[in-house]
Amino acid sequence: MCPSMCQSPAMKVSSLLFLPFLFTVPTVAQTTESHEEHEHFVKFRTQVDTVTPYFKVSKGTTSQNPWNHLDFYNQAKNFQFAIVTDRTGGERPGIFSVGIEKLNLLKPEFVMSVGDLIEGYTEDVDQLNREWDEFIGFIEQLEAPFFYVPGNHDITNEVMEEIWEERFGRTYYHFLYNDVLFLALNSEEAIQGSGGGGIEDEQYEYIKRVLEMHPDVRWTMVFTHQPMWIYENPRRWWDVEALLADRDHTVFAGHYHNYVKRERNNANYYTLATTGGGSRMRGPLFGEFDHIVWVTMTDNGPVVANLLLDGIFDDDIRTEDLANMVNMVSSEVAMTIQPGFNPNVTQQEYTAKIQNYSNSPMKADLHVMDATGTTITQTIPLDLEPNSVVMQDISVDHADPIQVKAAYRYAFDGYPDLETEQIVTLQPQFFHTLADTDRRVKVDGDLSEWGQLRYSSAYALDMTSQTPVDPADGFRFDVSMKRGKLVVAVDVTDDEYYVPGGNPLNQDGIGVIVDANPFGRSSQNNLDQEKVFEDWFPLLITPSDDQVNELAYQSIIGKYMSGALKRTSTGYTAEFEMPLKAIMRRMTEGDGTFRLNVLMNDFDRNGDSHVTLGWKPSWDQPTSALGSGTFAFDPEDAIEEITKEE
């Protein structure tokens, strides 16, 4: 069916400027058969003068004129369109609606998208329809035609896919505009969520057929949500790139919420930032900003401008080279300190490894502070040559927690100095032990075979005020390794259930995070979202019913991870199971350790109160001590357990 924007009133044509408008959209359903022989189009045309705009001016008395030239830009084939990027994935309310207001001022001929239009990630039909109604309310305020492209927040399961098709029909399509081919693709076809984007066989055949039908267009524009060119296995995407290689083309994607322009496959491939999606908003050096992309089509191809709320930048605002340079020197990787494991010794010795990965000089100031981060006890200035490493000893005369704040400054040639900082907490640690259960645990939410649970929640943070609190609710837990399985049992005390449906992160729930990499790596884990399932595994379950036998995001995590929950008179109990096979490569690389944390979401007062509780502070918080929550085991025993299971 024709998209809703096809029903708009006919375009009014200026009496002075007659510009061409040829807009074609396939009207048949998205099926293989519909495009085998020919395409069906709805066409809109206005009167055109295909040579020049109409222009008359009074003749002067000399050869001099008060203008530079009369080579008017608005020739027949020139046009402008806009692109909005991710609105969700941690939406910051109000930003996208401002973008719509700006677009109405700019008057693009149409607006493209690259997905993540709603928060999604639920099978609750009512919730999904509310979110789509909200988004369509924004689009109803937009004066220009708007073209939808699905993101992982728009299609993550079959229910969301069905709702998309009910509302918008096709999940991928194409159209022609002034002899430019626009391909709107679906990177979510396999429904594998973030990082699982790809092109499947049927969509590939569609793309191949469309490109064969239009071999001589001026340019080909491709829009997709996930930048599949950075993935190891995007299925048929590499074949799509091969089809595009011999034609002029440009590709736009979103998903990662930071802007990078890459030159590849004889073309420009853009990963866009945000139009309201979650972002630390650290500016162009980090590719983190809210923007609208303004594209002007010319005889030499598209000219791309980034319209930020506070300025206008060309498409080199952040190139791949600059992105790589900034990423290499980011504060998360510049300093590593291995924690100590001798809490009974008063004098604690640490060694900080500071590395300058860049080709530019670097200055670092290490501030050693108390646990609150308010009192500086030592300041150590360091100068690092390009691509160099400095080892710095830090000595303290107590075993209490300390913070080390490192302030870095890089002198990039041709750019302003980049200043970043990194804060780590150090506290002498000790290795935790596994529970010695008598028999293999059945993962059903019943904790009767566990006995006393040895570990309990110790930290709580009010998410509204971002201040520590002392809640009445909490949890106890323990960990076992039997028969090739790593199992975690949790007993939650919670006097009020809040499970409205929708996003599992926005309701009561208990979660386990496991990093099974060797200690030198796991101790530095700061929950980098781009390394989920590579460096750490998140398992979450909510008390949505009396008995729950499936993890949140089960389809993304995979069936090999499992969980179960039972409501109790005092809250609920839960068990999580992870096959050692799934993490054995990491667990046997050296030292027989894994790092674990348990986190609880506790909503009260009908959702108005939100407290997060943890065994240890969340690893992405500065107060989280490096290496906290590390368990030790015998790797040979683990291998034997796997053998028994097989």
N- to C-terminal Cα separation, the chain? 53
pLDDT, tens digit, 9 for 90 and up, residues 187-219: 999 998 888 899 999 999 999 999 999 999 999
Single pTM value for the model: 0.60
For residue 65 the two structure tokens come to 């004129």
Q: 9 exposed, middle or buried (CB, 10 Å; 0-12, 13-18, 19+)?
A: exposed
**Banded pLDDT at 341 (limits 50, 70, 90):** confident
| Domains of the chain by residue range | 77-308, 329-426, 455-645
Q: Is the pLDDT of residue 163 over 90?
A: yes
pLDDT of residue 489: 97
How do residues 571-597 score in pLDDT, each as one tens digit? 999 999 988 877 665 555 557 889 999
Residues 512-553: pLDDT tens digits?
999 988 888 888 888 887 777 777 889 999 999 999 999 998
- Find out whether 516 and 522 touch, Cβ atoms under 8 Å: yes
Instruction: Classify domain 455-645 by CATH architecture.
Output: Sandwich (2.60)
Domains 329-426 and 455-645 share a fold: yes
User: What mean pLDDT is reported for the chain?
Assistant: 85
What pLDDT, on the 0 to 100 scale, is given for residue 57? 58
| Assigned fold of 77-308 | Purple Acid Phosphatase; chain A, domain 2 (3.60.21)
329-426 has CATH 2.60.40.10 classification = yes
pLDDT at residue 623 is higher than 70: yes
Q: Which residues pair with 392 in a beta bridge?
A: 352
Please report which confidence band the pLDDT of residue 74 belongs to, taking 50, 70 and 90 as the band edges. low
Confidence of residue 55 (pLDDT cuts 50, 70, 90): low
Digit-coded pLDDT (tens) for 350-378: 999 999 988 889 999 999 998 888 888 99
Give counts: helices (H), strands (E), the chain: 11, 34
- Pinpoint the alpha helices (H) of 47-183: 95-106, 125-140, 158-168
Which range has highest mean pLDDT (4-13, 18-27, 403-412)? 403-412
**In the chain, what percentage of residues exceed pLDDT 70?**
84
Query: Residue 8's pLDDT band (boundaries 50, 70, 90)?
Result: very low
- pLDDT tens readout for residues 399-418: 889 999 999 999 887 777 88
pLDDT at residue 11 tops 80: no
Q: Which residues contact 585 (CB under 8 A, 6 or more apart)?
A: none
Eight-class DSSP state of 9: P
The pLDDT tens digits of the residues spanning 238-294 come to 999 999 999 999 999 999 999 999 999 999 999 999 999 999 998 888 999 999 999
Secondary structure in 3-state letters for 390-429: EEEEEEECCCCCEEEEEEEEECCCCCCCEEEEEEEEECCC
76: pLDDT confidence band, cut at 50, 70 and 90?
Answer: low
Cα 103 from Cα 142, distance rounded (Å): 7
